Structure 1
Amino acid sequence: MNKTDWRRVTRTVSTLDREVFSAVARTDSPVLDSVMPKVSRAADYSLLWMAIAAGMRLSRSRVTNRAAARGIGTLAVSSLVTNQIAKRVRARKRPLTEGVPLARLAKRMPTSHSFPSGHSASAAAFAIGAGMESAPIGLGLAALGGAVGFSRVATGAHYPSDVIGGFAIGAGLAVLGAKLIPPVRVPPPGRSEPLQVELPRRADGAGLVVVANPASGSGRGGEVIDEIKQKLPKAEVVRLEKDDDVEEILDKAAARGDVLGIAGGDGTVCAAAVAAMKHDVPLAVFPGGTFNHFAGDLGVGEVDDVVDAVSQGTATKVDVAYLNDKAFLNTASAGSYPEFVRIREKYEKRIGKPLAAALAGFRVMRSDPTSRVRYDGKEFEMQLLFIGNSLYEPRGFAPSLRTRLADGLLDVRILQGATAFSLAKVVGSLLTGQLSRNKRYHEIDAPEFEMEILDGAVSLARDGELGEEADRLSLRVDYRALTVYRPPYAEI
């Protein structure tokens, strides 16, 4: 398109802008006069969207919580791009407001450039970002976002094309965000649904023996013990001391109780699961650790969730995975993956998980040695190995959660060692959400997996706990082997 054609297009858009703006201004509507200014003011400084997100975060639904987090994250990026970059590209003046009814006119007219509309960009970013995790939530928010965009025209703050431009920026960033951090894929109803198990109701905790670490979760364990004693008064609570043999105490507790309870870190929870399976008793997992990965994936966020499940007798059966015949409930790893996770977690709160994962991958691949491995007849240099008990989301090297705990599968992810050039391609794949297409990245979903380490033993880790070294990895999953209490309202 040459300059003449471009000027013709801009003149046409400008003419259409003014005509639509004037048509809205001339519309005699008490509803517009009373409603539109309130809608516009509510969205000032994104307060409307932050209030909605805060309300969503109060929900027990993990889908709703994820939608709120993604919406706010996308909004923050959109606000930065719109106000610090897009508004500086073209110095467009605000509309003339003589024709806008006084009752409808914005009381505080912005002084920044008119194009694009920051309110509209934030509205689209939040609505579509949230909608990436939950389509019904996104649909409702999109209608509200449309009202916010229209209010900016009705109150005289923007031309229609300013609003459309803002919508485009917010929507584009939401789509890009979904590429960088893929939304969680929840299996359709009827596919790998959790098994519902009915157990005896224990409203007062009778028959429950809880082993609790008061020092876990930076002291949170002590608070959990107090809550258990208050809400399940007939439960026996065993406090772990510093030099206790945890496995022995768990074994004895499972042997004498009808239900084994555990409050501690994920490594301790796994040891409790082994004891519960040995004595064929159900497990009650109280969130008393630092991260509570297993409890979170189970839908247990508070002590009250476990109390409700024990009181109502609602439980499910979950898979237990094994690495070289030693159990793990969440994840296992070999080689450099623990160091990768340490670096990623150090930076992800400051720069976000995708950038932190890319940085961690770059550092690990530059500094840590690779291991020559063989599986399925293939040999190559392995840099990172992640193993999940059941499939994790999202795909790539930033797995966060599971939508199912009993799908009978291991989630194996392998990253090969890389040269300087291929390392740059791997990092680029991480940043753009295209790692699954990189030939140095492997994903295997299977009930069993074998790998041989050809040049010496590597360190193993299970559920965040460092273990032994081994030169052969044998992995399997025991389908629905563990009965564990789960609140009836828990969802992914």
Structure 2
Amino acid sequence: MPPSPLDTAMKSVSTAANHSLLWFAIAALLASRRGASRKAAARGLLAIAGASGTANALLKPVLPRRRPAAAELPAYQTIDNPPTSSSFPSGHAASAAAFATAVALESPRLGLVMAPLAASVAYSRVHVGVHWGSDVLAGAAVGTGVALATRRWWPVRSTDEARARPLDTVPELPRGEGLVIVSNQRSGDQEYDPANELETALPKAVVLRADPDRDLDEQLDAAVAEREDWVRAIGVAGGDGTVAAAAAVAGRRRLPLVVVPAGTLNHFARDVGIYDMQEAVDATGAGEAVAVDLGLIDVLPDAGADPDGEQIERLRCFINTASLGSYPDLVRLREKWQPRWGKWPAFAAALVVVLHRAEPVEIRIDGRWTSVWFLFVGNGPYHPRGAVPAWRPSLDSGLLDVRWLRADVRFSRLRAIAALLLGALGHSRVYHQREVAELEVELTVPGMLATDGEVVEEAGRYRFRVAKDAIPVYRRHEDRWTGRDRPFVG
């Protein structure tokens, strides 16, 4: 081939991709933004690690192949210090395809940007004379396969919103008329108080600022009682713990709920499909909502208590999850590390740390005593089954997702970690999962109960169930696409 600017470009691209430095630099740029971009970077690095290891450490030694005679090419087309290892397959092509495919799984639009660059890196290895075309094709196949395989350990969520039954019976709240909404400025960013914006966006609503010296549900309940005939909906601006308190009031008073995400992670708001204040305002103005289950926990008296006494000592509510044992510590560490590493890597690291420190908990479940590291109860079935619970595909199933990790099996911690790394947790003897409408649990020693990430109770017996009536939560019905593959599903 005669000399051209393509030679310089191909040599530069090929050299930049040495040791995946090009992809590491792009990953660092993607990780600087939260959301799909950061998850794409984390999945891309995970895919590169698998693809590079497979191509360079496994296949090259097993399938040795002589490289092309690069010395016969003109100097303007070759690179300095060409590699001398086995030619088959191309490690550069494997890493390029792995990164581009992994990014595309999380963000198709970013994947379209990565694809031409990945193809350029792959072709450059043939252009500079260090690989045969078949080396590049095989390497690209390896990289693509490894990237797709990451879904076994780290499932891809195609949409953030969960399915829910649409409701047309909720009242319209023009400019917030008939709405009592509480704002918790202690949720999320401590420097940000959403109350002022709420008053501007919903001028006819009653906006309460959460009193730190008073239970939020008590404060909200009292405000609703004062305006009994006027109130048509209850609202909340805060994180999941704050939303759970407001949901309890909404459930008791049979009123619809307005959710404004103002916490750190806002799991519940994301599941419902509300990403900012404006979406909540639009839904209230349109009078559209979906049915969402409310999880209930009956705190029961000890088994030896007077049978004629009160059968339920206290009632707790949860909107996402409840747990016993070491699971709250696991969630706390995962949420701490998740913004930097992504959900699955953060969960895996947190699981190793927590299991190393954890103490077994003796519980009776299904009438049988067993020792567990933790018990997880989800308000609705979580996906994927037989793996790390990641998200809810539905908000109104009427079922609880119950999972526990046994501690009475020999080497249970090592077996759990190995199963997680192999993507086979659902087939391990130490892992159990079922979906039920109600579950009663008894502990030999009173244990700490955590709901929606906050420790709320210590008792010896709990009954988990789903409220008979779902709560209407405001959300627009129409299907629309905004952001990264985010359809509103009615």
| TM superposition score normalised by structure 1 | 0.75
Task: State the 1:122 CA deviation.
Answer: 3.3
SS of equivalent to 2:44: helix
Q: In 2, distance between residues paired with 1:480 and 1:131? A: 40
More displaced, 90-99 or 457-466? 90-99
Tell me the equivalent position of 2:40.
68
SS of equivalent to 2:445: coil
User: Which residue of 273, 284, 298 maps to 2:272?
Assistant: 298
Tell me the equivalent position of 1:197.
167
The 1:133/1:291 distance shift into structure 2, 3 A limit, reads: closer
Tell me the equivalent position of 1:215.
186
Q: Does 1:226 align with 2:196?
A: yes
Residue type of the alignment partner of 1:120: A
Q: Which residues of structure 2 form unaligned runs of 5+?
A: 299-314, 481-485
Q: In 2, distance between residues paired with 1:82 and 1:404? A: 37
Q: In 1, distance between residues paired with 2:103 and 2:468? A: 34
Q: In 2, distance between residues paired with 1:152 and 1:267? A: 54
The 1:172/1:412 distance shift into structure 2, 3 A limit, reads: same
Task: State the 1:345 CA deviation.
Answer: 4.2
The 1:82/1:416 distance shift into structure 2, 3 A limit, reads: closer
Tell me the equivalent position of 1:318.
292
The 1:354/1:321 distance shift into structure 2, 3 A limit, reads: closer
Q: RMSD between aligned alpha carbons?
A: 4.5
Q: In 1, distance between residues paired with 2:117 and 2:173? A: 45
Tell me the equivalent position of 2:282.
308
Tell me the equivalent position of 1:14.
none
Task: State the 1:338 CA deviation.
Answer: 1.7
Tell me the equivalent position of 1:242.
212
Task: State the 1:137 CA deviation.
Answer: 9.4
Task: State the 1:388 CA deviation.
Answer: 0.3
Aligned identity (percent) is: 36
The 1:464/1:145 distance shift into structure 2, 3 A limit, reads: same
Q: Which residues of structure 1 form unaligned runs of 5+?
A: 1-24
Residue type of the alignment partner of 1:205: G
More helix by share: 1
User: Which residue of 470, 474, 477 maps to 1:485?
Assistant: 474
Tell me the equivalent position of 1:16.
none
Q: In 1, distance between residues paired with 2:124 and 2:439? A: 58
Q: In 2, distance between residues paired with 1:354 and 1:266? A: 19
Q: Does 1:458 align with 2:447?
A: yes
Tell me the equivalent position of 1:15.
none
Task: State the 1:169 CA deviation.
Answer: 4.1
Aligned residues: 450
Residue type of the alignment partner of 2:436: A
Tell me the equivalent position of 2:249.
275
Task: State the 1:321 CA deviation.
Answer: 1.1
Q: Give matches, 1:37-436, under 5 Å.
A: 46=22, 50=26, 68=40, 71-77=43-49, 81=53, 96=70, 115=87, 117-130=90-103, 149-150=122-123, 152-154=125-127, 158-184=131-157, 193-198=163-168, 199-202=170-173, 204-219=175-190, 221-222=192-193, 224-255=194-225, 256=227, 257-324=231-298, 325-346=315-336, 349=340, 352-364=345-357, 367-375=358-366, 377-395=367-385, 398-418=388-408, 421-436=411-426
Task: State the 1:422 CA deviation.
Answer: 3.5
More displaced, 473-482 or 291-300? 473-482
Task: State the 1:410 CA deviation.
Answer: 0.5
Residue type of the alignment partner of 2:260: F
Q: In 2, distance between residues paired with 1:111 and 1:445? A: 58
The answer as to whether partners of 1:40 and 1:152 remain within 8 angstroms in 2 is no
